[in-house]
Structure 1
C-alpha cells in the first residue's frame, strides 16, 4: 500500500530512512495494510461527511470577499510516543512561563530592557506594545497568557523546533476536538483499547483556568463570557464550540455595557455583572474610547473597568509585543534570563533584516530562504525562496529594501512529512503541530494539539487559509501501545 510512498530527503513521522515503520506506528501501519482500497475510500468519505454534517467551517478572505469552507481533513493520524510528548510538554511550559514573565516585566519594571538582553527599540517601537494604555496594571495571577498556541516543526534530523508563538487569540482548539470525534468514527478499534490520551477532561481544565482569573473585586461566584466579533469572523465556529463546552455565555460587544467602571451583560432578566472576559476580539477593536474609535465590535469604557480591577481580560491586552516574529528570536534569551535554564525546544535560526550585514547576506541568498512579515499571520505576505519565481523574488527584494524592519528571514527547513490519503492514494505531505497551553493557577498542555498538513502536494504552507488541512494527533500513554 505504501510502496509508491517515498520518505527520502525528509524526516518522516511514520517511516524510517530504510523504509521500515517506526515502532510507535507499527500497529496502525499493520491495520492499514489490512484495508482494501474501497475500505480506505470509505474511511476518507466518512471523515469528510462528518465535517460537512456538523457544519465545521472556516472562512477564507480573498479580495475582501469571505468564502466559507469545510476544514480539509486527512484520516492518517500523527502518533507521538510518550517520552517524546513528555519532552514537548516540559518545553511548552518552560517557554510560555518565560514569555509571561517577559510581558509582566516590560509592562512594569522593564528589567530585561535595562539589562540589554532585548533591544529597547524592538519593544517600544512595536505596534502591539500598549504600555501607555495598560502599563503598571496588576492583573489576576500576574498572568497575561491564559491560552497559548505554539507551533512546532521537525527538521531533517527529526529535532523539534518552535516555529511561532501565538499569544493573542490562538485559534484551532475546537478542530482538535472535532478531529478526534471524527477519528473515533473512522477507527473505533483503536480508541476502545484506551491506549491514547483522551481529551475529555481538558475542557474542564480550560474552564477552571478561565475562572481562576477572577478579579479581586469580584462578588460571589465569578461570571465569565466569551466575547466574539460575530458570525462573520473566520474562527466563529471555534468561539461557539468553546463557549458551549465551557458553559459560558457567547456575547458580542453590543451585549455588554460598562457603568461606573463595572461591566454588565444584557439578559432577559436584566443586567448581570461580568467578571471575566475571554475575548476573541483583537486589541485594536476592544474599546473604541481607547483604541480604534470606529470599532463597533468592542465595548466603550472596557479599559476603564480593566484598569480599576473590576474585570479580567483574557488573553492580556498588549500580548502581541511578545509573539511578534522579530521578538521570537529573543525567546531563548528570555528563558535563560528569567528561568536560568537552557531552552528545551530550540528556535529556528532567524536573521534580522534591520541589521545591514545580515540584510545584505539575505538579499544575496533570497532564493534559498523563507521571508516573513513580522506583523502578518496565516501564511500571508510570506516568501518561500526555493519555490518563488524571479518576479516574486524581485517584489520581496523591493519590500525588504523599502522597509527592512518589517521582515525577518529563516532558512528553508525541510519540514517533516507524514502520509496523507487524498483522491484515492497515499502521498507524503509536510506537517506541523500547534500545541495549546492553558494557564491559570496551574498550567496544562492539551495532549497532542492540532496537526496541520500541507495537503497540496509539495507545498510547505499548512495554514487552512492557504490550502492546508488537519490531522488528529494521538499521544500514546506510557507503557501503552496501540
Structure 2
C-alpha cells in the first residue's frame, strides 16, 4: 500500500464526530454533531487525531495503570467482598471555568447554610420555632442524635467534608441532586483519575490550562488542623477506618498516606480518665488531637451509641463533647443528610443567609404530604423514588426503567412508611462521549464536588464525574456498574 493509501485508511478509521449524536440530551463536550462546546474544542481537536482503535489502546493502558497502582473499590455481593479495579474512561469531562466559579459559590453557600441548620437543630432550634421547618421531621429522623443536643463544636461546624451530587438536565440547568454529609467518599478517585489521565494523555495536558486538584490532601489537613483543641503547628491527626473490608478502605489508606496521618482502627485508640484520646504506639500512648472518622455514627462509640460495636472506641463521644478532640464529620451531622431534609434546603438557605439559592434543588415531592404522595403514586413510571437515609443508589426506584411488579412494591412501601420516601421527576441527565466496546457513545453522568468547611472553605476544582456505563442507564454508582471520568475545569483564556 502506498503512502497516500495509508493516509486515506488512517482518515477512514478516525472517529467521525459528525456521527456522534447525544440526541435530546445536553452533552458536556458536544453541542451538536461535529460541533464541540467552546471549552471542549481543544480536547475534541486532540481526539480527532486518534482512531477508535488507538483510543482503545490508550484505554487499555489506563486500565493496566489502574491495576498497577492498586486503585480499587470493594463490592459486597451475596455475603462476599469483591475487590475490583476502579473504572475510568479516559475521555475527560470539561467544564468552563466561568461556569464553575458560579457553581463553587453555590456549593459554599449550601454547606454554610447546612452547618448553620445542624447547629441550630441541636441548640436553639430557631428554624423550628419560626415554623420554617417542621419539628416532626427532626423528631422522626433516625440521624438526629439526642446525645448531641446542646453541643457547640469548634467553629460551630458539624459537616466539615461534604460531597454534593450535581446533575444537569437537558436544558442545561445544573441542579443539586443530594448532599452527602455523613462520611462522603470518592475524593481519592477524583485525585487518581487525574493522575491516570496525565499519565495516559500527557500531551493533552501540556496543551491546555486545567485547574489543578492536587492540593486537596493539604487543604484537608489544614481544615482538620483547624479543629484541634490544642493550637499547634503540628497537631496529631488520624484517619479512623472500619478496617480493610470496608468498601472505601482504599480511600482511607490513600488520604492518610497523602496527609502524613496515621491510619487507625477503633481498637488502636483509647480514651483516658482525663477524657482525652490516645493512640497506642510502640513508644506508648500518644495524644490525638483530631480524628477524620470514616466510621458511621452508630458504630463510633459503644459507650454512647450501639453497645455491641467492635469498630469504635469507648468514650470517644465523651472526649469530643468535652472539647478534647476534634471529630470530622461530627456525630449527628447526618441529620442534614436526610433526603426529606434536602427538600427544605432552599428554605434553609433563605432563613440563615437571607439569600436565594445559587444552585437549585431538583423539584421534589414529599410522600408524607397527602397530595404530593397521591401525585407520586399516580406517576411512579416517571419518578425516581428515594428512601430518606440510604446511599449508593440502593433502595430506590427509577420509574422509567422499572417493572410493574417493582412499582407495586414501592406503592406498598410508600403507603406503609410515607416519611421514609421522597420522589423527583426523572431528569434527562447530561451525557459525555465515552468509550464503550470500542465505540464512542454518549453516556449519562453526574458530578460530585467536595467541599471543606472549618475555619474557612475550600472546593475541589471540579469533582468526581461518575458515568452510567450501560446504554440508557441513569445509575452512575460504581457498585452498580458505573464508571468515572477525570473532570477538567478549563480556563479557556489561559489556554497555552
Tell me the TM-score range normalised by the shorter chain. Answer: over 0.9
Instruction: Note if 1:32 corresponds to 2:43.
Output: no
SS in 1 for 2:344: helix
1:432 aligns with 2:440: no
1:259-303 CA distance string (max 9 Å, x none): 111110000111000111110000000000111111000000111
Contact 1:160 1:345 in 2 (8 A): yes
Give 1:191 shift: 1.9
Matched residue, 2:11: none
Any residues of structure 2 matched to 1:140-159 within 5 Å, and which? 140-159=154-173
Query: Does structure 1 retain, via aligned residues, the 8 Å contact 2:468–2:474?
Result: yes
Structure 1 partner of 2:105: 90
Query: Structure 1 residues 362, 305: CA separation in 2 closer, same or farther (over 3 Å shift)?
Result: same
Deviations 1:88-116 (A, max 9, x none): 11010000000010011111100001011
Question: CA 1:477–1:16 in 2, change beyond 3 Å: closer, same or farther?
Answer: closer
2:62 is aligned, of 47, 72, 75, to 47
Q: 2:244 maps to what in 1?
A: 231
Which of 90, 105, 112 is the equivalent residue of 1:75?
90
Query: Contact between 1:218 and 1:275, CA under 8 Å: does it hold in 2?
Result: no
Matches of 1:355 and 1:461, distance apart in 2: 27
> Aligned partners of 1:427 and 1:271: how far apart in 2?
56
2: CA distance, partners of 1:52 / 1:395: 40
| Match of residue 185, structure 1, among 196, 199, 205 | 199
Query: What pairs with 1:267-346 in structure 2 (closer than 5 Å)?
Result: 267-346=281-360
1:159-174 matched pairs, under 5 angstroms = 159-174=173-188
Q: Answer whether contact 1:227 1:278 (CA < 8 A) is retained.
A: yes
Structure 2 counterpart of 1:62: 77
Counterparts of residues 377-392 of structure 1 (less than 5 Å): 377-392=391-406
- The equivalent residue for 2:255 is 242
Deviation at 1:218, TM superposition (A): 6.1
SS of structure 1 residue aligned to 2:183: coil
- The CA deviation at 1:219 is 7.4
| Alpha carbons 2:119, 2:152 under 8 Å: kept | no
Moved more, 41-50 or 30-39: 30-39
Q: Give me the whole-angstrom Cα distance separating, in 2, the residues matched to 1:353 and 1:201.
A: 42
Q: Which moved more, 1:445-454 or 1:301-310?
A: 301-310
C-alpha distance in 1 between matches for 2:325 and 2:216: 25
CA distance in 1, matches of 2:260, 2:243: 18
Q: Deviations over 1:309-345 (max 9, x none)?
A: 1111110111111011000000010110100101000
C-alpha distance in 1, partners of 2:33/2:67?
39
Shift in CA distance, 219/201, structure 1 to aligned 2, threshold 3 Å: closer
Q: Distance in 2 between matches of 1:478 and 1:102?
A: 38
Q: Which of 266, 278, 281 is residue 253 of structure 1 equivalent to? A: 266
2:469 is aligned, of 449, 455, 460, to 455
How far off its partner does 1:138 sit? 2.3
User: Contact 1:218–1:310 (CA<8 Å) still a contact in 2?
Assistant: no
The separation in 2 between residues aligned to 1:405 and 1:205, in whole angstroms, is 38
C-alpha displacement of 1:194: 5.6
TM-score (norm. length: structure 2): 0.95
Aligned residues of 1:368 and 1:386 also touching (Cα < 8 A): yes
Query: How far apart are the structure 1 equivalents of 2:52 and 2:276?
Result: 61
Shift of 1:403: 1.3
Counterpart contact for 2:21–2:32, Cα < 8 Å: no
Query: What count of residue pairs does the alignment treat as equivalent?
Result: 480
Q: Distance in 2 between matches of 1:339 and 1:78?
A: 32
Partners of 1:430 and 1:454 within 8 A in 2: yes
Equivalent residue runs for 1:187-202 within 5 Å: 187-193=201-207, 195-202=209-216
Q: What value does the CA root-mean-square deviation take over the aligned residues?
A: 1.3
Which ranges in structure 2 are unaligned for 5 or more consecutive residues?
1-14
Deviation at 1:393? 1.1
Whole-angstrom CA distance in 1 between matches of 2:474 and 2:492: 32
SS at match of 2:113: helix
How far apart in 2 are the matches of 1:280 and 1:436?
A: 15
Q: Equivalents in 1 of 2:434, 2:136: separation in Å?
A: 45
Supply the distance in 2 between the matched residues of 1:4 and 1:399 (Cα, whole angstroms): 44
CA distance, structure 1, for counterparts of residue 374 and residue 460 of structure 2: 42
> Residues 423 and 18 (structure 1 numbering): CA distance in 2 closer, same or farther, change over 3 Å?
closer
